Chain A
Amino acid sequence: MKKRNQNIFIVITTVPALIFYVAIFLYPIFRAVTMSFYRWSGLTSGTEKFIGLNNFKKLLQDDRFWLTVKNSAVLMICVPVGVVVLALLFAAMLTRRKLAENNLYRTIFFLPNVLSVVVIAMLWQLIYHPTLGILNTLLEKVGLESIARVWLGDAGTALLCVAATMIWTSIGYYLVLFMAGIEGIPEQLYEAAVIDGAGEVAQFFNITLPLLWEILRVAFILLISNAFYGALVFVQVMTNGGPDNASLTMPNYMYNMAFQNSNMGYATAVGVAIFIVGISLSLITDRISKKETVEFQ
């Protein structure tokens, strides 16, 4: 009797959440994989046609798809590198020297993280705006009007402007992560280094960086997947992939293919490609960044 009551309790407490998770999260992902073997415009059931691997064959010959692969790759390189370099620099400054207003800087750098990506993307879209935005006016003021341009409408700069916005957004989060890591490094190590005559730059490369390696690894894995999947909203709001697909990334291609071109079968094939790229990237990053962890006792 007691056992039965216990089982009822377990069912009542766990099944509601499980229904949500299976029906709204797991089932659609599974269904996406099976859908990628069909040609289907979407809503009218009965019109789907099994075409085996044809969607994937088409994908491999699709120039636009390869362009989105390249654009996603650019973001996955620029954004993590930019964020890690800047966040590390700020974290090292804020932890190794105690300035009275340190907390204020941290508060400020973290601010974009609590805002909607939509607001940030829109705000920067307005900053880059050729007439309304503050960027071009600033460049004119300092005598650099030659480089002023329609930032998001120029095929050469659109993607990089999106990348800059994504970097700006993420720095604060990783700053907090790195600061916590650096604060966990025992102070004696730095004191010993000072006695040995090591300068601050040497301390950074010989103490801080090696002891922070585990956190940096995780940061890179998170940042790469974020630059990959997270590009969807940034790009959609800022450029919608334009001009002439110059800033179209893989997730945006999937989205537009499904909801603008109503080619759901092909779009899910792009989705499967996204999944494969995403998984392999995290595995590769995990593998190559794995090295003997330095620990302090």
Chain B
Amino acid sequence: MKNNRKDSIIKILMRIILIVSSIIFVFPFLWSIYSSFKTSREFLENPWMFPGQLYIQNYYNAFIEAHMGNYFLNSIVITIISVIVCLLISYSTAYTITRFNNVYTRLLKKTYMSAFMLPAILGLIPLFLLMHKLGLYDSRLGLILIDITVILPFSVFVLTGFMAGISRDYEEAAVMDGCSRYGIMFKIVLPLAMPSIVTISIFNFMGIWNEYIYGATMITTDAKRTLPVGLVNLMARQQYHTDWGALFAGMVIIMIPSITIYLLMQEKITSGIASGGIKM
């Protein structure tokens, strides 16, 4: 009886701590969402206040005047192409690493592992110069090539880990039936590897969608910018002429795809981290 009372007091205390902390985590997002509907005048008043009415003009301004629509399109195209190409080349690499055991594939595996020791940021300056030399500076193609490489080692790592555990019985049966290597790789093993492919696609999509430093360094033309870079640029412009509403709207626009994917795929994301220590 006494224990029960103590237990419920602890539970109440815990709830208070957890709820207060949750507010600290969630409120900034709510604040940015409701602030994105404020008029410029309302921004001068108490920052905690809700907007008097939903001022949707901010979203029009963000999409059209501040070119967020354009950045959005760039981001979508760059992200999707990078994720798909990376998937193709990392899947085939992982297949060969796990299915052939020779000096070359062992060396290959070690080479990709070295990525986790080397800081990519060290190569930023030479990469910038390389892109200039190749004529890929300030081009979306150049950024795509970089983005593919950014997510490549992680993809190879996760896929080899998963595919090493897939039984080869099916493959051997397929060989008996005269199926080619390519057929086996894409028709037999690919469906079995689907869970890990879905996981890395989610992580890769969010990683590239949110990528900033390469986008900021390799692109100068406004029309070619990605969303995060465009948003920072918009913020910099706000220092001189203040359309805070458009800025808040821009933040909400960039958050929506990530939050949607997160809410839909939550289990997949958190179980990926819990099991493999996947680093975003």
Contacts and interface: CB of A to CB of B under 8 A. Distances in A.
Contacts of B14: 93, 97, 99
Contact of B258 (A16, A32, A114, A123): A114
Contacts of A255: 124
A233 interface: yes
Contacts of A173: 273, 280
A193 interface: no
B185 A119 contact: no
A109 B123 contact: no
B210 interface: yes
Contacts of A168: 24-25
A161 B112 CA distance: 36
Contacts of A282: 117
B228 A116 contact: yes
Most-contacted residue by chain B among A35, A114, A177 (CB, 10 A): A114
A243 interface: no
A13 B25 contact: no
Interface string A127-148: 1000111100110000000000
Interface in A6-23: 6, 9-10, 12-14, 16-18, 20-21, 23
Contacts of A279: 117
B125 A32 contact: yes
B212 interface: yes
Interface stretch (A66-74, A77-85, A263-271, A288-296): A263-271
Nearest to B280: A113
Contact of B231 (A90, A110, A118, A138): A118
Interface string B91-109: 0110111001000110010
Interface residues of A, number: 87
Contact of A271 (B11, B43, B122): B122
B228 A119 contact: yes
Interface residues of B, number: 90
A267 B235 CA distance: 27
Contact of B11 (A12, A99, A113): A99
A195 interface: no
A212 interface: no
A114 B259 contact: yes
Given A90-B18, A109-B22, A115-B255, A14 B96 contact: yes
B165 interface: no
B118 A122 contact: no
Contacts of A97: 10-11, 14
Interface of B: 10-11, 14-15, 17-18, 21-22, 24-26, 28-29, 31-32, 43, 46-48, 89-90, 92-93, 95-97, 100, 104-105, 108, 111-112, 114-115, 117-130, 132, 145-146, 148-149, 152-153, 156, 181-182, 185, 206, 209-213, 217, 227-229, 231-232, 235, 244, 248, 251, 254-255, 258-259, 261-262, 266, 269-270, 273-275, 277, 279-280
